[in-house]
Homo-oligomer: A and B are copies of this chain.
Amino acid sequence: MQTIGQAIRQLYPISDRSFEQLTSLMQRQELPKGHILFREGQVSHKVFFIERGIARAFCYRNDQEVTFWFGVESDLVFSYYSYVANKPGYETVELLENSVVQAMDLAQLQELYLTNIELANWGRKLAEYELIKTEERFMVFQFQSATERYKALLQQNPALIQRVPLNQIASYLGVTQVTLSRIRAEVR
């Protein structure tokens, strides 16, 4: 498993001093399963680095929860729309296991961006990588069938299917749970 230091510096190499500045903003928190990191309709002021545990983001659609993102160890958790547009976010993010996270205040982070060019470029790289991750996820939806999406998930992240209930996996893949069961019956 990657440490937070490795994750930060792998994104974009920064000096020890910048690293200190960045990590000094972080607060280690142990949070229980079910804890809500972001709540739909609220403006977010925090970003979280997942040290241990798993999180999911979901929205409501026709009174049903639709899961569209999972975060695992060494992932960052943003309510990106809320952060960028400075408006209420549309998603709720909850922890699916007892977890350890490093929490950072977004206002303090943005302060750093304005005064430290190394960190400004680190923040740029962060957004750029999040962008291509989101783009890839989008492409998967537009270019692959539900069965292909499931197989890809099975290959790339088999642990996720063990750790998360299948109704959440189903909505993550964009199908109903019944369809996912059918797919699993085929693949088996």
Contacts and interface: CB of A to CB of B under 8 A. Distances in A.
A175 to B, nearest CB: 11
| Copies, count | 2
Q: What is the interface of chain A mostly: helix, strand, loop, or mixed? A: helix
B121 A114 contact: yes
Interface residues of A, number: 35
Interface string A123-139: 11001111110111111
A116 B138 CA distance: 33
Interface in A92-139: 113-117, 120-121, 123-124, 127-132, 134-139
B143 A66 contact: yes
A142 interface: yes
A59 interface: yes
B84 A142 contact: no
B174 A132 contact: no
A61 interface: yes
Given A120-B120, A131-B130, A135-B134, A142 B68 contact: yes
A159 interface: no
A85 B131 CA distance: 11
A80 interface: yes
Given A68-B139, A123-B124, 4 more contacts: A68-B138, A80-B132, A83-B128, A127-B128
